[in-house]
Amino acid sequence: MVMMFKKRFFSVFFCCVFFIYGCNNDNPGLFSSTDLETRWKARNTFNFLSSDDLNISLGDTYSFIVVTDTHINDGNAWGLERLKDVINNDGSIKFAVFNGDITQNGKRGDIEKIIQIAKTLDVPCYPVLGNHDIYFDNWKIWEELIGSTCYRINGGNATLLILDSANAYYGDKQLDWLESELNNAEGRVFIFSHVNLFVKSPSDLQHFTDIRERARFVSLLQGRCDVIFTGHSHKRLVTDLSGVKNINIEDFRRNAVYCQVWVSKDGIQYEFKKL
C-alpha cells in the first residue's frame, strides 16, 4: 500500500509540475526567467526605438491605442496585423502601446513578428515587457532586439512612462526612478505596466501581492498621473485610485479588444473596441 501511494503521489506531482511549467499555461502567470535587477541594468539600451520615437510631439488633441496580451505564438498574431487599417483610417492616432505578454514564450521569431507589425503602422509603437516575454531565459532576445524595459517618452504636452512589472513587483530602484520622473513630468502623464494591481475577486491570483509596494506605487501616482494602463489578468477592470484611473484591458489573443484613448484640452475619454 505504501509503495502504491508513493507511486501515485509522484505521478500526480510530476503531472502538476508539467502543467504549471507547460509553455502554454498562464498559471498565475508569474514565472519569469530573469530578475528585475538584471533587466534594470539595461534600462538605457534602445535597439528598437529611435531617438525620434522617444521624443514625439503630440499637440493638444490626439488619440492612441493600447493593446495587451497578444501572446503571439509561432508567428500567429491573432489578426493584430489589421491594426494597420484602424490607424490608417484615423488620423488622430499618434502612437500605439503593446502592453506586455506580447509573445507567448519570448521566442525570437515572435518578437521579430511584433517588430514587423510595428513597422507597418506608421506611428511609434512602444513595447512593454510581460512575464511571458521572458520565459525560458528569453530576456536575452528581448534585450538584443528591443532593449530597455523601463523608459520615458517625452510627448511635449504629455509624458509616457513605461514600467517593468514582469515579476509582479517594481522594486525600490524602479520606484525611485518613477518618483523622479513624475516630479519633472510635463503635461498629462500616462503610465503603462503589464501586471495588474487589483483583481475582481479573491479567486483571481494574478496581481501585485506586496501590498506595501502597491501602496507606495499608488501614492506616487496621486496628483501626478492621469491614467495607468495594465493587463495580464485577461479581464477588463476600470478602477479609480484616488483620482487616478487604472484601466485594465482584457487580452487581445481571445477577445481581439483594444482600448482607444482620446486626449484634448477638455479631458480624456476612452473606448474599448474590437478589431
Between helix 211-221 and helix 171-183 the angle, nearest 10°, is 10
Nearest of 151, 155, 154, 67 to residue 114 by alpha carbon: 67
Q: How confident is the model at residue 131, as a pLDDT?
A: 95
Cα 38 to Cα 166: distance, rounded to the nearest angstrom: 12
Encode burial over 202-216: b for 16+ CB neighbours within 10 A, e otherwise.
eeeebbbeeeebbee
Enumerate the domain spans of the chain: 51-274
Encode burial over 152-165: b for 16+ CB neighbours within 10 A, e otherwise.
bbebeebbbbbbbb
Secondary structure of residue 211 in the 3-state scheme? helix
Pairing relation of β-strands 158-162 and 188-195? parallel
Q: How confident is the model at residue 252, as a pLDDT?
A: 98
> Whole-model pTM?
0.89
CATH of 51-274, one of 1.10.3720.10, 3.60.21.10, 3.40.50.1010, 3.40.190.10: 3.60.21.10
For the chain, residues with pLDDT lower than 70 are 1-33, 201-207
Helix or strand run (H / E) with residue 20: helix 2-21
Cα 111 to Cα 273: distance, rounded to the nearest angstrom: 24
Q: How confident is the model at residue 13, as a pLDDT?
A: 41
Query: How far is CA 177 from its chain centroid?
Result: 18
Nearest of 16, 106, 114, 95 to residue 56 by alpha carbon: 95
Q: How confident is the model at residue 157, as a pLDDT?
A: 95
Q: How confident is the model at residue 34, as a pLDDT?
A: 83
Q: How confident is the model at residue 166, as a pLDDT?
A: 95
Q: How confident is the model at residue 202, as a pLDDT?
A: 62
